[in-house]
Amino acid sequence: MKKLKTLKPRFKARVRKNKQILKKEIKKFFIWIKGAELVSLKECNTSEDPVRPELNNEFRTSYGREIYGVKYKGEIYAVMCFAFTNQIPKSVKDLDKLSKDAFLQSALRDQKVGKIAVAYTVWSKKKGGGKLIVKQVFKMIKKSNHLNRLVTLSPLTEMATKFHLRNGAKLLHINETTQNFEYKES
What residues are paired with 37 via a beta bridge? 71
Q: Which helix (H) or strand (E) holds 51?
A: none
pLDDT tens digits, 96-118: 999 999 988 876 665 566 789 99
Which range, of 20-24, 99-103, 144-148, averages the lowest pLDDT? 20-24
Q: Note whether 52 and 98 are same-domain residues.
A: yes
pTM > 0.85 = no
Amino acid code (one letter) for 52: R
Cα gap 149→116, rounded to integer Å: 5
Q: What are phi and psi of 110, to 5 degrees?
A: -110, 10
Which residues share a beta bridge with 178?
Answer: 155
149 and 84, same structural domain? yes
Tell me: do 54 and 30 sit in the same domain. Answer: no
Q: Are residues 163 and 119 in the same domain?
A: yes
67, 16: one domain: no
Q: Is residue 110 domain-shared with residue 158, that is, in the same domain? A: yes
Q: Show the domain range for 90.
A: 38-183
In this structure, the answer to whether residues 97 and 164 fall within a common structural domain is: yes
Domain count, the chain: 2
Assess whether 98 and 167 both reside in one domain. yes
CA distance 98 to 113: 11
Per-residue pLDDT of 40-62, as tens digits, reads 999 999 999 999 999 999 999 99
Is the same domain home to 143 and 157?
yes
Is-contact 122 76, C-beta < 8 A?
no
Shared-domain flag, residues 100 and 153: yes
Same domain, 8 and 86: no
